[in-house]
Amino acid sequence: AGCAVAFFAHILLHTLALKFVVPMFGLSGESDGADSNTYQDCSRRIACSWFSANPVYCLRSQYVYQHNPPCVYCIPGKEHLIEVNEDLGLYFNDCPAKEEDYDAPHVDVEAMKDNLKELKGKASQHFEDMKGKATGQLEELKGKASGHFEQLQGQMSSWRMPGFSASSSDEPSKAAPSEDAK
Q: What residue type is assigned to position 120 of the chain? A: K
Average pLDDT along the chain: 83
14: phi then psi, degrees, rounded to nearest 5: -65, -45
Cβ within 8 Å of residue 172, ≥6 positions away: 163, 164, 165
Under 8 Å between Cβ of 90 and 73: no
Return the pLDDT at 182. Answer: 45
The closest alpha carbon to 52, from 68, 35, 75, belongs to 75
**Is residue 65 within 8 Å of residue 85, measured between CB atoms?**
no
DSSP H or E run through 55: helix 55-59
CB neighbourhood size of 121 (10 A): 10
CA distances to 1, 22, 39, 72, 127 from 92, rounded to whole Å, are 58, 38, 11, 11, 56
Residue 162: the pLDDT is: 63
pLDDT, tens digit (0-9, with 9 covering 90-100), for 7-46: 999 999 999 999 999 888 877 767 677 778 888 999 999 9
| Percent composition of the chain: helix, strand, coil (DSSP 3-state, to 5) | 55, 0, 45
Dump pLDDT digits (tens) for 80-106: 999 999 998 899 999 888 888 888 777
